[in-house]
């Protein structure tokens, strides 16, 4: 604090929110350091030793389909904040119902563009935090590396978060990950019950047979030799 005459100059206010998310910053720095030729880091390069103190706040998401996002690995701090084991649960379980669609859309963009995603989140109780997502290179499945850090460690996370803001970062020359095609929909096969036979597959009628039937109809029409039947009534 300094003074100029009768004016007291206060130091510029520092963004406390940006200062507190050291674990998210650590994971982000690791992700950028492990990139190769513009491609995201490989899944096998993300090890517990490299994550260090951020390990308990880190998670990995599987994206098997167009909309599917499920927890594959989850840090211990997130398990405790959720109150249940989040493994195999949908990623949207962290958000309130009205934010499900937005969370899915943002994750799809990060996957397809090969970009990092930073979300400013807030719980219904007023606790705020930061959630970061980073795409990973994996030949077998599409995955995202994530880190969630709350300013209040005891904040409840399950079905409680809303999104205040979002920010994408895509480096020049970064490689876009191929989008997975949606699985084809198959018609359900009806299974017979009891002693009933399986339903037969419908086959179209033979065109040659139809021509013969039509010809027979034309031959059987009434003419001079075969007059049409007449109804005769009697008054007996």
DSSP secondary-structure letter at 2?
A: E
Could you give the CA distance from residue 187 to residue 92 in angstroms, rounded to a whole number?
29
- At 102 the pLDDT is 93
- The verdict on residue 191 lying in a domain is no
What confidence tens digit (pLDDT) does each residue in 138-179 have?
A: 888 889 999 999 988 777 888 889 999 999 998 766 655 554
- What is the domain count for the chain? 1
Q: What are phi and psi of 62, to 5 degrees?
A: -95, 140
- At 53 the pLDDT is 92
- The verdict on residue 165 lying in a domain is yes
- The verdict on residue 95 lying in a domain is yes
Walk along the chain (236 residues) and give the pLDDT tens digit of each residue: 455 555 554 444 444 444 479 999 999 999 999 998 888 999 999 999 999 999 999 999 998 876 678 999 999 999 898 888 999 999 999 999 999 999 999 998 998 888 999 999 999 888 999 999 999 988 888 899 999 999 887 778 888 899 999 999 987 666 555 544 344 444 444 555 455 555 566 555 566 655 655 555 555 556 666 665 565 565 55
- The verdict on residue 156 lying in a domain is yes
- At 9 the pLDDT is 47
- The verdict on residue 196 lying in a domain is no
45, 34 Cβ separation under 8 angstroms: yes
Cβ neighbours for 199, distance < 8 A, ≥ 6 positions apart: 190, 192
Nearest Cα neighbor of 145 from 63, 37, 226, 201 is: 63
Token pair 């701090």: residue: 77
- The verdict on residue 209 lying in a domain is no
Range of the domain at 151: 14-169
What confidence tens digit (pLDDT) does each residue in 19-30 have?
A: 479 999 999 999
- The verdict on residue 117 lying in a domain is yes
- At 232 the pLDDT is 59
Which contacts (CB < 8 Å, 24+ apart) does range 51-59 have?
A: 51/26, 51/27, 52/26, 53/23, 53/26, 54/23, 54/24, 54/26, 54/27, 54/147, 57/23, 57/24, 57/147, 57/148, 57/149, 58/27, 58/145, 58/146, 58/147, 59/86, 59/145, 59/146, 59/147, 59/148
Q: Which two tokens stand for residue 56?
A: 């308990």
- At 150 the pLDDT is 92
> What CATH number does the domain containing 82 carry?
3.30.450.20
- What's the chain's Rg over C-alpha atoms? 34
- At 47 the pLDDT is 95
Could you give the CA distance from residue 62 to residue 54 in angstroms, rounded to a whole number?
20
- At 140 the pLDDT is 82
DSSP secondary-structure letter at 36?
A: B
- At 3 the pLDDT is 52
43, 74 Cβ separation under 8 angstroms: no
3-state secondary structure of 144: strand
Strand runs labelled E in the chain: 2-4, 7-9, 58-62, 70-74, 116-123, 128-136, 143-150, 161-169
Q: Which two tokens stand for residue 175?
A: 């490689």
- The verdict on residue 31 lying in a domain is yes
Could you give the CA distance from residue 150 to residue 73 in angstroms, rounded to a whole number?
19
């Amino acid at each position: 604090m300094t003074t100029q005459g009768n004016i007291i100059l206060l130091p510029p206010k520092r963004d406390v929110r940006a200062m507190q998310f050291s674990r998210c910053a650590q994971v982000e720095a690791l992700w950028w350091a492990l990139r190769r030729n513009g491609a995201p880091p490989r899944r096998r390069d993300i090890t517990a030793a490299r994550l260090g103190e951020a390990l308990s706040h880190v998670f990995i998401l599987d994206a098997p389909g167009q909309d599917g996002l499920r927890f594959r690995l989850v840090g211990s701090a997130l398990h405790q904040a959720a109150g249940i084991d989040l493994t195999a649960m949908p990623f949207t379980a962290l958000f309130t119902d009205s934010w499900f669609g937005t969370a899915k859309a943002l994750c799809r963009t990060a996957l397809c563009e090969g970009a990092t995603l930073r979300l400013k989140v807030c719980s219904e109780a007023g606790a705020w935090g930061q959630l970061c997502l980073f795409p990973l290179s994996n030949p077998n499945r599409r995955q995202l590396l994530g880190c969630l850090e709350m300013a209040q460690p005891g904040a409840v996370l399950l079905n409680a978060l809303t999104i205040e803001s979002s920010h994408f970062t895509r480096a020049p020359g970064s490689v876009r990950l191929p989008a997975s095609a949606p699985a084809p929909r198959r018609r359900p096969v009806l299974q017979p019950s009891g002693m009933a036979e399986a339903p037969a597959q419908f086959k179209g009628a033979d065109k040659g047979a139809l021509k013969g039937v039509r010809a027979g109809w034309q031959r059987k029409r009434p003419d001079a030799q075969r007059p049409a039947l007449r109804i005769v009534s009697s008054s007996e």
